[in-house]
Amino acid sequence: MRIWGLLLGAAMALSFVTSASATMRISEDRGGQIGQYLQAFTTVRSSGENVVIDGNCLSACTLVLGLVPRDRVCATSRARFGFHAAWMPDRDGRPVTSPLGTQALWNIYPASVRRWINRHGGLSRKMIYLQGRDMGGIVANCDRGIHEQVRSARRLAPHPVRYESASASSESR
């Protein structure tokens, strides 16, 4: 009887965490492995959770734009998306562009994001940033009341992979 009570309580707690009333806030996410973000944002999409971008959302974090429904994602005035080609370490640990990974990113991004990327040089080793007025028509503006209350805030990845000096993600604004 006790075990059933514990299981029922755990199930109720999990359903509360994944309810549509929750909101994920992304503020300083430098990205990481594509697979981890595919899994995380697929879970967010299934949960009905909203996403507020309130700072940097770089590299694989940008997959949120293609994996979570557009009407559940918004960006504050501090939001900044950073796009670049996917890469993998070579035998010596140096980053090399991954055509397969880059194509996977491209296929996930919505048409509006792909058009913006094309207008700004395409996906390459150099990070390109989408922010400010350029976001109009791509990402809703949170500052206009789309997501007024954030009931829960959490990071997507507790230990995101950080790019080394060979990556363009360390470039300043």
Phi/psi region, residue 7 (left: phi>0; alpha: psi -120 to 50; beta: rest), is: alpha
Q: Determine, yes or no, domain membership for 1.
A: no
Give CA–CA dist 142/159, Å, rounded: 26
Contact call for residues 153 and 25 (beta carbons, < 8 A): yes
Say if residues 169 and 82 touch (Cβ distance below 8 Å): yes
79 in a structural domain: yes
**Other C-beta atoms lying within 10 Å of the C-beta of residue 31:** 26
Has residue 8 been placed in a domain?
Answer: no
State the total domains in the chain. 1
Q: Which pLDDT score, from 0 to 100, does residue 145 have?
A: 55
Say what the pLDDT of residue 157 is.
Answer: 43
Task: Please check the confidence at residue 153 and state whether its pLDDT lies above 50.
Answer: no
Any domain includes 16: no
- Residue 5: per-residue pLDDT: 39
Q: What is the pLDDT of residue 22?
A: 83
Which pLDDT band holds residue 166 (cuts at 50, 70, 90)? very low
Looking at residue 75, its pLDDT comes to 97
Is 56 within the bounds of a domain?
A: yes
**38/42 Cα distance (integer angstroms):** 6
Does the residue 34 lie in any domain?
yes
Structural domain contains residue 5: no
- pLDDT tens string 114-144: 999 999 999 999 999 999 999 999 999 998 7
